[in-house]
Structure 1
Amino acid sequence: MDGVAIVVVIVLLLGAAGIVWGIVALVRRQQYIKSLRERGWTFVNSPTFDAVARLGNPPFGIGFRRRPDDQIIGRTSLGRPFQVIEYKSEHWSGWVGMVTVSRRLPELWITGGETQPRFGVAATVVPSPPQLGPGWQIGALDPAFAAAALTPQVCERLNAMAAGQPGVNVSTDADQLVMLDPPRKDAELLGPWLEQFATVAAAIDAAPLDPWIQPEQPPRLSFYHHPDWYWIGVDDSLLHVTPVTRSGHAHSTSEVIRGRDGDGPPFVAFTHHWKTTRTETYTDSEGRTQTRTVTENHSEAILGFQLPARMPWLQVGRRGFGRGISFESEAFNDQFAVSARDTKFAYDVIHPRQMEYLMANPPASFQFVDDWAWFSAGVHNQPTIAHCSLFLRGFLARIPRFVWRNLGLADTPYPALDPAQLGRAALQR
């Protein structure tokens, strides 16, 4: 048998093996789904985003590309609703199990064993109750809530969960008690696991937690620690009113987000896509000159904050070629380049206290254009938006009152943040 024939045989064998493996996998999947339904549970092959839309704490609430997959829905033997779902985002991929609790509660993070805390969590580490024993980590925004929630009964049930699996990673998320990595592959294991997990939820329901009940949030794609951010997705009307690149063709938007943080300025953020096409000349293998059309795809991040008044044009960026306007601080001049059409306005806004703020919190380059502040952030993601939002709120708070009055406002629209607000804002970046 020659070499070509051997290759053909190998390819045919590999193809046949692939087909057999595909059939085996399909049969196993159907048997698995049948075992779930025999328990009275519902299996959803392609759930809509509504399945997790109300959840806002990691692994939910982070990133722009989030996708729920296989979902199991049902009730425990005592009637407590549960779901087990596969979830994927830019930052995490895996299975999540959750059971419903009777109240919408603040976030609480309970990690035991060798399990690592979840990506993106911003919480304060609080002491672990002695009833939990060694090896547990507790996180919360409100230590008083954590202390009230971790009753001896709750600790007992958590220890029981930890005895049955190597790591426990539990959190509260509104009216859901959430745990990562349930034993979802085998219904015979998943059933008892859910029953045991439900006992933790029952113990939390029995704890005196009414003072911490949270308001109900609308069922939409939410963002961790940013309750006033809104997912829009696509809004190509923005192409006509924002400073996007105008050249090229096939312009479009994606991952459009609007919102604000607290009393800060509202923002719009999105990715702008477009294409350029060019004709280039090349020489083929026979030495003949040919032409071909080349199309390239491009994208850029757009981030703008709406200001409360029209501002004279002002640009603040890192020092590059050219010094811009000279200020009294050489350290500032060495680090930043400021340009403005109205030099007095620039001196009024970039005063010594503002210079200290800029040097301590160097931002992405930004400019005031009429009643918008546009940032050249370079990337479109949740941390960048949050950072620019927090920075700009502090920058605007340092603009003197007389400047706002000269712009037609009765007073400063952004009073200085008190230390408690600054701490919360920094935690939520």
Structure 2
Amino acid sequence: MKLFVVVVIVLFAAGLTWGIVALVRRQRYIDSLRQRGWSFVNSPTFDAVARLNNPPFGLGFVRKPDDQITGLTAQGRPFQVIEYSTSHWSGWVGMVTLSRRLPELWITGGDTRPRYGVLAHAVPAPPQLGPGWQVGALEPDFAAELMNPQVCSQLSAMAAGLPGLNVGIDSDQLVVLNPPREKPDLLAAWLEQLGAVAMAIDAAPLDRWIQPEPQPRLTFYHHPDWYWIGVDDSLLEFTPVNRGGHAHSTSEVIRGRDGDGPPFVAFTHHWKTTRTESYTDSEGRTQTRTVTENHSEPILGFQLPIRMPRLEVGRKGFGGGISFESEAFNRQFAVHSPDVKFAYDVIHPRQMQYLMANPPASFTIEEEWAWFSPGEHSQPAIAGCSAFVRGFLARVPRFVWRNLGLPDSPYPAPEISPVP
């Protein structure tokens, strides 16, 4: 027993000593940053990354900015080095400011893999960069104009000191993963190299590619009209949440829309239930105790341009439902509506063809909303339902919208080949 106590005391003392040493080192590191005229923030707000949209930013609901270093390079160019984590990536990111807001572009060297979640077209890397480089862009012509000899020369010089270079343009920021932030002297030299790349990009004739000013809010990659709210418990008043239990709340609230599709709201609903149960204690006596359980469910709804009759569409296990002329559709889907004529008008042959080719999560149209059961609250689930509902509404016949009170269909009809 005495030996155990001694071991515990030694381990505690060692842990305390290590903690003190780490704290002193951290403070010395912060002091060395401030001596350079840089600023250090231990817990930055989301404002630090609100305008950044490309991976690792702009993905998912778990986003955490941490230690932040800001300042100016020797040439007076603003920079930021920040620790950042998501569900898919965590590490440090360094960036300097460009003179213009430019389209998305990705450059990786040293056989580095592209960042998680990137959506871009691979374009040929300039021969000046040598083997092992990859370039990706949504606008190949932009990439060709940007990757001039001066930019390639600066990238090659930077990669020589930092193998595995991973560079991206995010609006007016030139962003690089994994800067050498441990030693301020190395970081300062690295920032000057990054500033030299930015200067070469600024010198290129790229004004025709200038992008509009983004709104200063937390957004989502390739979904510029989605935005993060976080908590909005007023949604519980009108959304189809589970009404049982108590302590109802919302989290991860997102609003937005995709193009000319209907606006949506998506969030996680939390609540608790409490019950009393009996049990037998160690002495054989019957006792009671209160058990509280936590519950959650994803909620996703799209706001319609006008009130519509109730219409439920789900997989066949959803119930028998209305019978349609397509047996293949009847085997796959169940449709319920108190207004059978409305159901037949909306679920016509081309609509059935669309549903079978793009099986959605079960959904219910109820007055001015289409509520989905996505199974999870995630960026891909929202995007998938958003794309589906836009196509579904575009296939609602024009006369249906007119019967509901609109002058015409609010959604342009897609190009549809004749049904065989």
TM range (shorter): over 0.9
Corresponding residue for residue 6 of structure 1: 3
Corresponding residue for residue 25 of structure 2: 28
Displacement after TM superposition at 1:214 (Å): 0.7
Corresponding residue for residue 163 of structure 1: 160
Corresponding residue for residue 294 of structure 1: 291
Please tell me whether the aligned partners of residues 306 and 368 of structure 2 are also in contact (alpha carbons under 8 angstroms). Answer: yes
Q: Is 1:131 the counterpart of 2:124 in the alignment?
A: no
3-state secondary structure, aligned to 2:174: strand
Partners in 1 of 2:40 and 2:297 — Cα distance?
40
Q: Pick the aligned partner of 2:180 from 165, 170, 183.
A: 183
Please, what is the CA RMSD of the aligned residues?
1.3
Corresponding residue for residue 346 of structure 2: 349
The 1:309/1:107 distance shift into structure 2, 3 A limit, reads same
Could you state the TM-score of these two structures normalised by the residue count of structure 1? 0.95
Q: After TM superposition, where is structure 1 displaced by more than 6 Å over at least 4 residues in a row?
A: none
Letter in 2 for 1:113: G
Partners in 2 of 1:388 and 1:94 — Cα distance?
32
Corresponding residue for residue 426 of structure 1: none
3-state secondary structure, aligned to 2:75: coil
Letter in 2 for 1:163: A
3-state secondary structure, aligned to 1:242: coil
Question: Which has the larger displacement, 289-298 or 67-76?
Answer: 67-76
Partners in 2 of 1:219 and 1:322 — Cα distance?
46
Could you state the TM-score of these two structures normalised by the residue count of structure 2? 0.97
Partners in 1 of 2:348 and 2:129 — Cα distance?
53
Corresponding residue for residue 107 of structure 2: 110
Displacement after TM superposition at 1:9 (Å): 1.3
Q: Pick the aligned partner of 1:48 from 31, 45, 49.
A: 45
Displacement after TM superposition at 1:218 (Å): 2.0
Corresponding residue for residue 147 of structure 2: 150
The 1:137/1:301 distance shift into structure 2, 3 A limit, reads same
Letter in 1 for 2:170: D
Please tell me whether the aligned partners of residues 114 and 166 of structure 1 are also in contact (alpha carbons under 8 angstroms). Answer: no
Partners in 1 of 2:135 and 2:356 — Cα distance?
35
Question: Which has the larger displacement, 296-305 or 106-115?
Answer: 106-115
Q: Is 1:265 the counterpart of 2:262 in the alignment?
A: yes
Q: Pick the aligned partner of 1:73 from 66, 70, 75.
A: 70
Please tell me whether the aligned partners of residues 395 and 414 of structure 2 are also in contact (alpha carbons under 8 angstroms). Answer: no
Q: Pick the aligned partner of 1:275 from 272, 276, 280.
A: 272
Structure 2 counterparts to residues 399-418 of structure 1, below 5 A: 399-417=396-414
Corresponding residue for residue 93 of structure 2: 96
Q: Pick the aligned partner of 2:198 from 197, 201, 212.
A: 201
The 1:116/1:255 distance shift into structure 2, 3 A limit, reads same
Question: Which has the larger displacement, 85-94 or 409-418?
Answer: 409-418
Q: Is 1:18 the counterpart of 2:15 in the alignment?
A: yes
Partners in 2 of 1:115 and 1:277 — Cα distance?
52
Q: Is 1:244 the counterpart of 2:268 in the alignment?
A: no
Letter in 2 for 1:138: V
Q: Pick the aligned partner of 1:215 from 212, 215, 224.
A: 212
Partners in 1 of 2:326 and 2:415 — Cα distance?
27
Letter in 1 for 2:49: V
Partners in 2 of 1:399 and 1:124 — Cα distance?
34
Partners in 1 of 2:271 and 2:285 — Cα distance?
33
Corresponding residue for residue 34 of structure 2: 37
Partners in 2 of 1:282 and 1:395 — Cα distance?
53
Letter in 2 for 1:42: S
Residues 228-274 of structure 1 deviation map (CA, whole Å, 9 limit, x = unaligned): 12222111111111100000001111111111111110111111111
Corresponding residue for residue 302 of structure 2: 305
Please tell me whether the aligned partners of residues 112 and 168 of structure 1 are also in contact (alpha carbons under 8 angstroms). Answer: yes
Aligned residues: 416
Displacement after TM superposition at 1:417 (Å): 4.3
Displacement after TM superposition at 1:418 (Å): 6.2
Residues 191-224 of structure 1 deviation map (CA, whole Å, 9 limit, x = unaligned): 1111111111011001111001011112111111
Partners in 2 of 1:108 and 1:201 — Cα distance?
13
Q: Is 1:255 the counterpart of 2:255 in the alignment?
A: no
Letter in 1 for 2:62: R
